[in-house]
Amino acid sequence: MHDSEHADEASRRGVSTKAVEMVVAAIIFGLGLVVVFDSRRVGAGWADDGPQAGYFPFYIGLILCAASAWTLLRAAFSDHAAGGVFVSRRKLRLVMSVFVPSLIYVIAIYFIGIYVSSAVFIGAFMYWHGRFPWIKIIPVSLLVPVSMFLLFEVWFLVPLPKGPLEALIGY
Amino acid sequence: MEEFNSLMQGFSVALTYHNLLFMLVGILLGVLIGVLPGLGGANGVAILLPLTFTMPPTSAIIMLSCIYWGALFGGAITSILFNIPGEPWSVATTFDGHPMAKNGRAGEALTAAFTSSFVGALFAVIMITFLAPLVAKFSLKFGPPEFFAVQLLTFCSFVGLGKGHPAKTISAMMLGFALAAVGLDTVTGTLRMTFGTSELLRGFDFLIAVIGLFGIGEILLTMEEGLAFKGVHARINPRVVLQTWAQLPKYWLTALRATLIGCWMGITPGGATPASFMSYGIAKRFSRTGEKFGTGEIEGVVAPETAAHAAGTSALLPMLTLGIPGSPTSAVLLGGLLIWGLQPGPLLFVEQKEFVWGLIASMYIGNIAGLLIVLTTVPWWAAILRVPFSIIAPVIVVICAIGAYTVHNAMLDVMLMLVFGVVGYVFKKLDYPLAPMVLALVLGDMAESSFRQSMLLSRGDVSIFWSNGLVGGICGLALLMLFWPVISKLLARLRRGNNELDEARPVE
Per-residue pLDDT of B278-300, as tens digits, reads 788 888 877 777 777 877 788 88
For residue A51, what are the β-bridge partners? A46
Categorize the per-residue pLDDT at A3 as very low, low, confident or very high, splitting at 50, 70 and 90. Answer: very low
Rounded average pLDDT over A11-27: 81
Is B416 in a helix, a strand, or coil? Answer: helix
In angstroms, the CA B6 to CA A65 distance is 49
Rounded average pLDDT over B365-369: 89
Categorize the per-residue pLDDT at B351 as very low, low, confident or very high, splitting at 50, 70 and 90. Answer: confident
Q: Please indicate, yes or no, if residue B238 is contained in any of the structural domains.
A: no
Which is more confidently placed, B137 or B30? B30
In this prediction, residue B415 carries a pLDDT of 92
Q: Please indicate, yes or no, if residue B503 is contained in any of the structural domains.
A: no
- State in Å, rounded, how far the first CA of chain A is from the last one: 62
Per-residue pLDDT of A32-89, as tens digits, reads 998 888 888 887 777 777 777 778 888 899 999 999 999 898 888 876 666 677 888 8
Q: Are residues A9 and A76 in the same domain?
A: yes
Categorize the per-residue pLDDT at B441 as very low, low, confident or very high, splitting at 50, 70 and 90. Answer: confident
Interhelix angle B91-100/B57-82, rounded to 10 degrees, is 50
Per-residue pLDDT of A113-157, as tens digits, reads 899 999 999 999 888 888 888 888 888 889 988 988 888 888 777
Which is more confidently placed, A7 or B414? B414
Q: Are residues A70 and A25 in the same domain?
A: yes
pLDDT of B55 strictly over 60: yes
Q: How far is B76 from chain A (nearest CA, A)?
A: 26
B54 phi and psi angles, rounded to 5 deg: -95, -5
Categorize the per-residue pLDDT at B227 as very low, low, confident or very high, splitting at 50, 70 and 90. Answer: low
Q: Please indicate, yes or no, if residue B508 is contained in any of the structural domains.
A: no
Contact B224 A95 (CB under 8 A): yes
Structural domain of A73? 2-83
* Number of domains, chain A: 2
* Number of domains, chain B: 1
Query: Running DSSP on this structure, what letter comes out for residue B134?
Result: H
To test the contact with chain B by mutation, choose from A18, A27, A34, A38 the residue with the greatest count of B C-beta atoms within 10 A, namely: A38
Which is more confidently placed, A29 or A165? A29
- AA identity, residue A59: Y
Q: Are residues A160 and A108 in the same domain?
A: yes
- CA B194 to chain centroid: 31
B229 phi and psi angles, rounded to 5 deg: -105, 120
In this prediction, residue A25 carries a pLDDT of 92
Categorize the per-residue pLDDT at A4 as very low, low, confident or very high, splitting at 50, 70 and 90. Answer: very low
Percent of chain B scoring above 90 in pLDDT: 5
Residue B409, Ramachandran bin (φ over 0: left; ψ between -120 and 50: alpha; else beta): left
Q: Are residues A52 and A122 in the same domain?
A: no
In this prediction, residue A2 carries a pLDDT of 42
Contacts of A118 in chain B (CB under 8 A): 398, 401
Q: Do residues A74 and A22 make contact, with C-beta atoms less than 8 angstroms apart?
A: no
CB atoms within 10 A of CB B312: 33
Categorize the per-residue pLDDT at B504 as very low, low, confident or very high, splitting at 50, 70 and 90. Answer: very low
In this prediction, residue B411 carries a pLDDT of 87
Torsion of CA B116, B121, B123, B127, to 10 degrees: 160
Whole-prediction pTM: 0.82
In angstroms, the CA B410 to CA B179 distance is 18
Q: Are residues A103 and A145 in the same domain?
A: yes
Contact A64 B178 (CB under 8 A): yes
**Residue among B178, B224, B402 whose CB faces A57 most closely:** B178
In this prediction, residue B244 carries a pLDDT of 79
Lowest model confidence (mean pLDDT) among A114-118, B56-60, B82-86, B315-319: B82-86
Q: Are residues A129 and A72 in the same domain?
A: no
Q: Please indicate, yes or no, if residue B488 is contained in any of the structural domains.
A: yes
Q: Please indicate, yes or no, if residue B239 is contained in any of the structural domains.
A: no
Residue B184, Ramachandran bin (φ over 0: left; ψ between -120 and 50: alpha; else beta): beta
In angstroms, the CA B350 to CA B346 distance is 8
Q: Do residues B414 and B54 make contact, with C-beta atoms less than 8 angstroms apart?
A: no
Q: Please indicate, yes or no, if residue B243 is contained in any of the structural domains.
A: no
Q: Are residues A79 and A94 in the same domain?
A: no
Q: Do residues B160 and B298 make contact, with C-beta atoms less than 8 angstroms apart?
A: no
In angstroms, the CA A157 to CA B306 distance is 40
Q: Are residues A24 and A58 in the same domain?
A: yes
Residue B87, Ramachandran bin (φ over 0: left; ψ between -120 and 50: alpha; else beta): beta
Contact A74 B418 (CB under 8 A): no
- CA B318 to chain centroid: 12
Contacts of A99 in chain B (CB under 8 A): 220, 418, 421-422
Lowest model confidence (mean pLDDT) among A64-73, B79-88, B456-465: B79-88
B466 phi and psi angles, rounded to 5 deg: -135, 35
CA A43-B194-B323 angle, to 5 degrees, is 80
pLDDT of B45 strictly over 70: yes
Q: Are residues A95 and A76 in the same domain?
A: no
Task: Check if the interface score ipTM surpasses 0.90.
Answer: no
